[in-house]
Structure 1
Amino acid sequence: GLVLLMVILGGVTRLTQSGLSMVEWQPLSILPPLSEAQWQDTFAHYQQFPEFRLKNAHMTLEGFKSIFWLEYIHRLVGRVVGAVFLVPFLWFVATRRIDRRLGGKLAGLFLLGAMQGVMGWFMVKSGLIERPDVSPYRLTAHLGLALLIYGLMLWTALGILWERQTVARAVRSFARAAKGVLALLVVTILSGGFVAGLDAGMTYNTFPLMDGQWIPEGLMVMDPWYMNPFENIATVQFQHRWLAMTTMAAVWMVWGWSRFLPAVGSVRTLMTLFAVMAGVQGGLGIATLVLVVPVPLAATHQAGAFILLTLGLVTIHQLHISHDSRHAKGMPSA
């Protein structure tokens, strides 16, 4: 839950143009400016960087505070997530409540969380040099690492709750298809990172056509050509649209297939939820686009991507469990 909150806060921070308000990274510091003098000093420091000079030259101290607090809360929640994870983990290790294998997985997750903090600053730093915009590559890497951490945490938790087994022969082909859909979903989410990094949602605000065209002008005009999927706004939005629609169609096709499967745990129910959520997410994406990226809708759309990822991972894990033997792994027996 805290990880998802962190993701949503990160999205809101980006959408409100608040992410470059803190121009230093102090991992061990948690206190914000407390006195008027400290606020003035922090604001003066911010004024030395491109975002103030090129975008916010008329900003007042009160305006600065409004963007500072969002970024501050985002970073603070990141530290809280780390503490909430680390303290119980150390206690479990000290009291030998978890085995070595699970301990190794949890230690790896903590290291990934620490890497995410570094990646977040690496991303912010890219917007503090010349142009007051973070690198879309670094933003997408930050998003991708968030996906990885969230997915691994969920998969580890599911593995503790239910022991994984070999997929039953009757559903092996379905399991492969479900994994393919999940991979397509991840690619679609990452393509959304480039949409966000380039503010590509601020243009072509019509659907299904892109300003009256199925294939917009300027789709592949950049040279070299292979930069278009990453740096050309028209191409980035075009590919995200079609990846999203392809993913939604794939989810619905696999859902239809699931109706003919032998009963395996909660797979049919989960696939129905997956299919419904795919439709909801598609609707959120279209609404976000045609309304020119209102913050509440865009943040909900980002959260929806992680809900879809959750449903996909839980569905696949359900295909791997033995329903005659549900017991926790890595934990002491009663």
Structure 2
Amino acid sequence: MATFLSIQPRFHLQSTPKMTFQPFAILNKTQKMRVPYELKQGQARIFHRLPSGLNLEVIVQKSVKEKDPDEKKCPPLVFVHGSYHAAWCWAEYWLPFFSASGFDCYALSLLAQGESDAPSGTVAGSLQTHAGDVADFIERNLNSPPVLLGHSFGGLIIQYYIANMSNEQSFEMGTLYPRLTGAVLVCSVPPSGNSGLVWRYLFSKPIAAFKVTRSLAAKAFQTSLSLCRETFFSSKMEDNLVLRYQELMKESSRMPLFDLRKLNASLPVPKMTKSTEVLVLGAKDDFIVDAEGLRETGRFYDVSPICIEGVAHDIMLDCSWEKGANVILSWLNGLSR
């Protein structure tokens, strides 16, 4: 099992000036993914430099909707992916959708994922370091509180972020967690982690438990088209699309996001002490996060989770990706009132 990665703490205060957000060319930057993701019209790839000197890939798509001066400004949206994914998974459908609806969108690739730099060591980081990297990007680049959207393990990272927004100890350790307008947890790993999911599968669905373990822990989804579809997508997903995303997922993760043993030892996520609007969104055909995992997350935030019919774990890439996008858009519009 991989060893834990230690990152030096950050020391920047609330008075830190905002960076001017200027994309720069990447023609002279070596691509880390052998199957690169080609950006869509209106998208740009930039790199945010962390205090460690490492660079995070950010795919940006700004709002294309004409601004009504009497309309309340839409909060920026910051997207955080899960294991075996990167910023590209949001850029395919959801960034164009939300930018067309008036939102500036920023999809991050966590360290050692996508085109982001890799730290030394054998794992990409921890809940603390990944959440701190997201916080550093927000603090130094955005002028208004964003909505954070996280998928799968990315949702767990956001839960840690929320729990530490008003944590004085985190500030003393050098990490400032800027306030949020809200958070969306998409097919998220629940606050207790994935161990409960695994045990429930072992006792109630042993065949599914074997498949999930083989697919994710043994990375069999990378070589089996049918297992990749069953793990992440709806059964009706066309072969050519599954193959395309399978190739991108193969290249997206050069290191595991976490040391899972140390991660589970640090859970559950602490209860948030500062009120934040949270939407908990799940998928009826999710092969990874079961219904009880979805309910656990809803109970933790005292909200009723929404479970969408006809979509699987990769809700933002699945055949009916617009179902989840429309639910989120309706919730975002409610925040604006």
- Which of the pair is proportionally richer in helix? 1
TM tier relative to shorter chain: under 0.3
Structure 1 length as normaliser, TM-score? Answer: 0.24
Please state which structure has a larger fraction of its residues in strand. Answer: 2
Quick one: higher RCO (CA 8 Å, sep 6+), 1 or 2? 1
Q: Please say which structure displays the higher CA radius of gyration.
A: 1
Q: State the TM-score, normalizing by the size of structure 2.
A: 0.24
